[in-house]
Structure 1
């Protein structure tokens, strides 16, 4: 089944599990941070004005300056390439960002804020069609403003969209430490699933804050929780988890579509084909945006059942 072949992406294409706007388009809470002095990368080690001489593995150039060994220059070049990030489209100005995100960037020096904003805006434009490049844009933003929660959130979201689940988990944990937000929990739980740790996903699904989630976020966590139960071979428990959700809601929102689809898929996995067929039809009936392949799944089941 689809649920078993790959981890569920709680919020669909590039959207946060909270049901809010993407962090590359919107915001979390502001975080405190130290203002960088410039938009250039800084070394962790203090620089000395005095050359270390040949014993230090350096040699002077024609002007008498001292340079790092060639192998270190190569490493620095790779780091610089990551810092620079992908080329920024000329039409991306940073003004595309949600005002709440732009407000969080105002604590940075003007030129630095503009560069970070452009990388975040580019990521927002690309996250659906080219998530890997979107991720590289967020890495460039993170290199310049690593202490902004909204930047770490955007990096985690883009990493998740690109399939870099360990990196996504680390970034969203960092964002959560900075701003205390719990909206990331469904995506974090799904990252645990993708990393082969369904038990960790279940721990997050039982977090006290989930009770107060908005309906869409709660539905996404339910889908991830049911998926984790399936990962453990607990089909009956997965079905019970989904049956506690508002499957029969009259809403035609995407979260209801996804809940019904997950339920139908799990019913089929459990060998309850007639019930699965009915729920695939009920999913297709409200799936006006064609978020799922419920119609194709129903057709396949009908053919098999004769």
Structure 2
């Protein structure tokens, strides 16, 4: 219920997460849900506490971007950057690494370091011609920083790329953005064309973990 309500009624989603926490407070995903709903409500202190508990229970850093943003919400950009630098970014999943770059860029903006904020977004995933799930947010973040720097033409270009990526990902429309997220992990010798769906789905191979 928390997952279903988070976008439409964060307060009610938070109540569901708290109810789950009272019954299963030692389960990592429960503490994660409390953290996410608290963040959605702007309760950054509670979000931080629950995120740290989640990380301790799970041993995972996959919510590091939310930790950084919560520190920002508490008005502590220095602490936010310290948290970000404490993790091995190369070991993070790509989507998490991109979200962390965006959060770190925001922390730099909080400190008035606009050029450094732009530098935080200079990551390999910043490709305007390829769209993945994280691309619209990354492109929009770059557009916002460029706007702050007064580079309005570049900002407009990256915002347009964000809009195109979002439309292509959401509606499957062909454009200059190539949707590659389904095939990003294929070996180099695999064909790039979409494979034909087997006539008998029961004969399809089970996906490997």
Q: TM-score, normalised by structure 2?
A: 0.76
Contact 2:132 2:169 (C-alpha < 8 Å) held by counterparts: no
Deviations 1:177-213 (A, max 9, x none): 1121111111111000111011111112213332211
Contact 2:128 2:158 (C-alpha < 8 Å) held by counterparts: no
> 1:287-302, aligned counterparts within 5 Å?
287-288=166-167
SS of corresponding position for 2:130 = coil
Contact 1:229 1:238 (C-alpha < 8 Å) held by counterparts: yes
Partner of residue 135, structure 2: 256
Identify which of structures 1 and 2 has the higher relative contact order when contacts are C-alpha pairs closer than 8 Å and 6+ apart: 1
| Structure 1: runs of 5 or more not aligned | 1-121, 292-306
Q: How many pairs were matched up?
A: 170
CA separation in 2, counterparts of 1:290 and 1:198?
A: 32
Contact 1:264 1:277 (C-alpha < 8 Å) held by counterparts: yes
Please state how far the C-alpha of 1:290 moved relative to its aligned partner.
8.9
Residues 125, 225 of structure 1: alpha-carbon distance in 2 compared, 3 angstrom cutoff: same
CA separation in 2, counterparts of 1:208 and 1:173?
A: 13
Deviations 1:36-65 (A, max 9, x none): xxxxxxxxxxxxxxxxxxxxxxxxxxxxxx
Give the alignment partner of residue 286 of structure 1, picking from 165, 189, 197. 165
SS of corresponding position for 1:208 = coil
* Larger Rg belongs to: 1
The alignment's C-alpha RMSD in Å is 1.8
Contact 1:131 1:161 (C-alpha < 8 Å) held by counterparts: yes
Partner of residue 134, structure 1: 13
Does residue 202 (structure 1) correspond to residue 78 (structure 2)? The answer is no
Contact 2:63 2:96 (C-alpha < 8 Å) held by counterparts: no
Query: Structure 1 segments of 4 or more deviating over 3 A?
Result: none
Partner of residue 169, structure 1: 48
| Structure 2: runs of 5 or more not aligned | 171-209
CA separation in 2, counterparts of 1:229 and 1:278?
A: 22
CA separation in 2, counterparts of 1:289 and 1:246?
A: 17
Contact 2:45 2:74 (C-alpha < 8 Å) held by counterparts: yes
Q: TM-score, normalised by structure 1?
A: 0.53
Please state how far the C-alpha of 1:270 moved relative to its aligned partner.
0.9
Partner of residue 224, structure 1: 103
CA separation in 1, counterparts of 2:12 and 2:169?
A: 26
Does residue 270 (structure 1) correspond to residue 135 (structure 2)? The answer is no
Residues 195, 271 of structure 1: alpha-carbon distance in 2 compared, 3 angstrom cutoff: same
SS of corresponding position for 2:88 = helix
